[in-house]
Every structure is written in structure tokens, then in C-alpha cells.
Structure 1
Amino acid sequence: MARPHLPLNAIRAFEAAARHLSFTQAAIELCVTQAAVSHQVKVLEERLNVKLFKRLPRGLMITPEGEALLPTVNQAFDRMSEALSRLEGGQVREVLSLGVVGTFAVGWLLPRLADFQQQHPFVEIRLSTNNNRVDIAAEGLDYAIRFGDGAWHGVDAAPLFEAPLTPLCIPALAETLCTPENLSGHTLLRSYRANEWSNWFAAAGMAQPANLIKGIVFDSSIAMMEAALQGVGVALAPPLMFSRHLASGAIQQPFSCFISEGGYWLTRLKSRAPTPAMDAFQGWMLQRVEAESLRIAK
């Protein structure tokens, strides 16, 4: 079935005139005369049998009919622009929608993402962060990187690495922490996973201190570490995700005792057929993780 003829020049003239509320300014943008823009808008009005603008002594006022048409026109031009940009350079660009737990995004992925983009320039990543609560289907994600045990219903989960937890704090607090028992005198910053501090104290060979229940609860390790940086208390967090803070000396790790409460996983819906962009990202992720793991092991 043949598509109806679309007056593209007239639609473009309407969009520019609606944005500027001026035939003159639209004409300057489109490199045509003011009369040409006015004529094209009139063509579209006659085609639709409605008035799109009220002509005023100084400029234009868009009519309710024009207001109703404008969002659809803008969306169509945006989609065409996006499609054309993906073809620039002679290669089709693919969008990869990626949801990432915030701690992993800031602490591991972002410092390495330029390497992926250099190797796979055809992939355009759209990154959203979360606090480990994510709905891949509802959010339209290709992949989600999350923390846990890998047992999520309806998804394929590829293990990346574990991120063991240990107390982290500013140097002034670290100086007061000679033994785990010294923690009982400090505010203990906690995540929403309630048993982490209890498990760490058990691994350190001591009973849970009474002040544990008084600690501040965070839904994000990034926010928890910010509180630790401000001297609010001692965070139980993965050093691997805060290596820059440790390297700069802003944060210190007073103890060598760790606990593992899970790991980071690259997940996708089992019903989602992998695209070339998805294959490229998974291959890069797993290769990068393996290479860094081998370097640490040496």
C-alpha cells in the first residue's frame, strides 16, 4: 500500500515558524525567503483545512490546532535525526540501554568506558543508575549490572566479580581503630542489607556491639561513602569500588578482615535476543574483568 504524500517542506517550515514564532526568523534558519516560509505554511494549512498560526503585527501566535500538531512533528524530526546520526561515518550505530547499580557505575565502569567506546564506536550507550532495584523489562534495558547472588527470575546472569566488604573511614577515625573492638565507640554506617555488619563482626571473631542498631541506613554505597568522607562514621563497603579514595588517602582501610555478601553480575532477560551491540558489550566486559583479575592475581 502506497504511503500518502507528505509535504515535508511545509512541515519543516511549520516547525521552524512554531519554534521562532516568526516567519522571518524561520526563513533565516532555513535559508529561504520569508515569503517562501509563509507560502509553505499556507500549503500545510490548506492541506489540513485548519489555521496553524494567527498572524500578528509583530510575529505569530500558534493556534490550538498548531499546538496539537507540533509535538508529533517534533518527535518525528527527532527520530529522523537520531536515525541519520546512527548512519554517520558509514556504519550503523546501535543504542545499548544499560542499567547499573550506582556504586559499580562510579567505582568501576565509568573509568573504563572510554576503552569500550574506542573499541566499539558503533555502540551508543544509554546509561541509567539505580540502587540495585531494577526492572529490566519495564525499563526497556538490554542489560542490568547488579549486586547479589545471581539468582534472579527470568534472567541470564553472567558473573563479573565479587566485591568483599570491609570497614572504610577517614584517616582521623582510622587512627583510633587498633582492633575491631574499637568500632563500638563509633557510628557504623549501614546499607539496607541488615546483616552485613553482624557478619563482619562474626568474621572478625567478636560479638556485635550494642551501638550497631544506632547506625545510619543507606540505600546507596555512594551516599554511605560520602557520609564516611565527611567523618560521620565508619562505612562497611567494597574497597574495590572506592579505589580512588583509597589511593588518594582520603579514605583508609583499618582492618584486613573481609566478608563477601555477593558479587556483581551482568544480567539480561532470557527472552531478549542479543544484538550486535549487546554481544560487543558483554564480550568487552568479560574480557576486561578477566584481564584485571589475572593482573591482580600475579
Structure 2
Amino acid sequence: MDRPDLPLNALRVFEVAMRQGSFTKAATELRVTQAAVSHQIARLEDLLGVKLFSRHAQGLVATDEGRLLFPILEQGFDAMSRVLGSLQGTRDIEVLNIGVNTTFALGWLLPRLGAFRAACPGIDLRVSTHNNRVEILREGLDMAIRFGSGGWSGHDTLPLIEAPLSPVCAPHLAAQLQTPTDLMRFPLLRSYRSAEWPAWFAATDVPFTAILGPVLDSSVALAELAAAGEGIALLPVAMFERPLGEGRLFRPFAQSLPMGSYYLGWSSERAVSKSMERFISWISTEIESGVTANK
């Protein structure tokens, strides 16, 4: 039996829907309606005789057939884009979408974007920030940087920077802190990771009592409250070198608590593109240069 002629437009719609993880986001990228995306996917499924997506409580999920087809189409469309760009006499620009933990973005990556553009002029880097909760494929990302242990199922990871936590506060509060026990006299600002302060006090052999106070999901927000004198925050000091150097924040005690590192991660289901390879190489070199300089 002859194979059906597969419409290029329907294949393109499927590739975008897979990359975005959503018919709605695919429609936005393609500048069509969600109904048009659904129609093209249904048409492609009918021609292939298989289901490419299934709907679950957590949203749109690709079937085994969909995951098998996607990398081939992704590579094919990328190749066509490069060839067409060459024929049109344009520069070979690759888009790289990266989700970055807000603390890492402000404390490390954004000050180095100029260096990245100089080193990788052929990459159009698009950064979206998050508070450590990110789903790479569902959010249409190529890679993500987040804090933790690095053991994320279905992802390959590269360790970037260790980020032990230490108390920081405004200078006028630091002047009133002689021993870790003195911290109990002030509001202790907390992140959503409730075990951090108890673990830090345990490391200093100071009995810990329950604390009440604001809980925030952003280390950047915690730093701002601490700088304003609203309490003491437990932060990854490697990401706050500027306010510490400027004297807006002060580190009253040297004791630090290893709770994790920042990792660069990407889906193990997708092939690593050239732009991803170049970003991995660049960030590895930058971090190694910083480590060497501090020795």
C-alpha cells in the first residue's frame, strides 16, 4: 500500500506543539488559533493511523509514537532553517531558550550576557526566570538552570556552582550579633525549604526553637528584606557578591550550610543541539575561569 503524503504544515504544527508542550502555546508561536492546531494534529494522526498525544490530568502528554517522531522532525526543520538562511544570505542564527533560577540569573548569568554574546554571536539567547520550579519540555525550553541535588528524572545535568547557605543581614543588625544564639532575638526570614534554618543551627550546635515569620519563594526577595533590616536571611552567598561587596548586606558568621548546587539540565529525550553544546562549553569555561581566579 502506498504511504500517505504527509502535509509539511501539519508536521510543522506537531513539531511546535511537542516543543511547546501545549496546543495553546503552539498556536501563539504559529500565530494561528488553537482550533487550527488541533485540526492539523488530528489530520496528521488520521494519516499516520496513530495517536500522537493523549490528555491527562497534568496536561498534554506525547505518546510513544509522538516521542519517536519528534526528534526527527526537530532536526529536519532545524536543518532546513539553516540551509534556507544560507541561501538567503543571512547569518546562521540559532534560538536557545533557557529557564534560569531567578537567583542565579541576577547573581551570575545576567552580568555575563555581554561575554556570552561576544563568545557566541550566532545564538539568540532567550532567558526566562523561575523560582526553581520548571518543566523544560512543557514550557518550550531547551535547557534550565536550577538549584538542588541534580537528580531530576529524565534529565541530563551539569553541575555548575556549589552554593552553601549562610546568614546575611543589614549592617546595623550584624553589629548586634556576637554568637549564633543571638540570631534568635531577630526575625529569621525563611524560604519555602523549611529545613534550612534548623539544619544551619544544628551545624553550629545551637538548640533551635520554632520560628514564625514570612516565608518567601525567592532568595532575591529574602535578600531585599534582609537589606532593609527586616530580619536575617539564609542565602547562597555566592549569588549575592555585589550587595555584600557594596555593604548593603553583611555576613555575620562564617558558618555555611551545604544544601545543594546550581545545575544546568536538559531533557534526555531530546538531542543536544549545536547551540546547546556551545552554551554548555561557554558556561563551563566561565565557571572554571572564576574558580581558577579565586584560588
Calculate the TM-score normalised by the size of structure 2: 0.70
Look at both structures and tell me which one has the larger radius of gyration over its CA atoms.
1
Q: Which amino acid aligns with 1:160?
A: L
Cα deviation digits, residues 95-138 of structure 1 (max 9, x gap)? 00000010000001001111011111110011100000000110
CA displacement at 1:204 relative to structure 2? 1.2
CA displacement at 1:209 relative to structure 2? 3.2
CA displacement at 1:167 relative to structure 2? 0.3
Q: How does 1:169-188 map to 2 (within 5 A)?
A: 169-188=169-188
State the superposition RMSD in angstroms.
2.2
Of 259, 266, 273, which aligns to 1:261? 259
* Helix, strand or coil at the partner of 2:156: strand
Q: Which amino acid aligns with 1:288?
A: E
The equivalent of 1:245 in structure 2 is: 243
Q: Which amino acid aligns with 2:217?
A: D
Matched, 1:282 2:273: no
The equivalent of 1:197 in structure 2 is: 197
Q: How does 1:135-174 map to 2 (within 5 A)?
A: 135-174=135-174
In structure 1, distance between residues paired with 2:114 and 2:220: 22
In structure 1, distance between residues paired with 2:195 and 2:162: 18
In structure 1, distance between residues paired with 2:235 and 2:128: 22
Of 224, 227, 240, which aligns to 1:226? 224
Q: Percent identity?
A: 45
The equivalent of 2:127 in structure 1 is: 127
CA displacement at 1:91 relative to structure 2? 2.2
* Helix, strand or coil at the partner of 1:284: helix
Quickly say closer, same or farther: Cα 1:184–1:89, change in 2 above 3 A: farther
Q: Which amino acid aligns with 2:219?
A: S
In structure 1, distance between residues paired with 2:226 and 2:103: 15
In structure 2, distance between residues paired with 1:90 and 1:259: 50
The equivalent of 1:102 in structure 2 is: 102
In structure 2, distance between residues paired with 1:241 and 1:158: 18
* Helix, strand or coil at the partner of 2:240: helix
* Helix, strand or coil at the partner of 2:190: strand
CA displacement at 1:257 relative to structure 2? 0.2
In structure 1, distance between residues paired with 2:240 and 2:184: 24
Quickly say closer, same or farther: Cα 1:89–1:125, change in 2 above 3 A: farther
In structure 2, distance between residues paired with 1:276 and 1:209: 52
5+ long unaligned stretches in structure 1: 4-70, 73-82
Q: Which amino acid aligns with 1:294?
A: T
Cα deviation digits, residues 33-86 of structure 1 (max 9, x gap)? xxxxxxxxxxxxxxxxxxxxxxxxxxxxxxxxxxxxxx66xxxxxxxxxx89x7
* Helix, strand or coil at the partner of 1:137: coil
* Helix, strand or coil at the partner of 2:138: helix
In structure 1, distance between residues paired with 2:120 and 2:98: 15
Cα deviation digits, residues 223-280 of structure 1 (max 9, x gap)? 1111112211100001111110011001000000000100000000001111111111
Q: Which amino acid aligns with 1:279?
A: E
In structure 2, distance between residues paired with 1:113 and 1:159: 20
In structure 2, distance between residues paired with 1:89 and 1:185: 67
Q: Which amino acid aligns with 1:112?
A: R
Calculate the TM-score normalised by the size of structure 1: 0.69
* Helix, strand or coil at the partner of 1:145: strand
CA displacement at 1:90 relative to structure 2? 4.3
Cα deviation digits, residues 118-171 of structure 1 (max 9, x gap)? 111110011100000000110111110010001100000111121010000000
* Helix, strand or coil at the partner of 1:285: helix
- Structure 1 segments of 4+ aligned residues over 4 angstroms from their partners: 86-90
Quickly say closer, same or farther: Cα 1:111–1:89, change in 2 above 3 A: farther
Q: Which amino acid aligns with 1:204?
A: T
* Helix, strand or coil at the partner of 2:137: helix
Q: Which has the higher helix share?
A: 1
5+ long unaligned stretches in structure 2: 8-30, 33-80
In structure 1, distance between residues paired with 2:189 and 2:89: 50
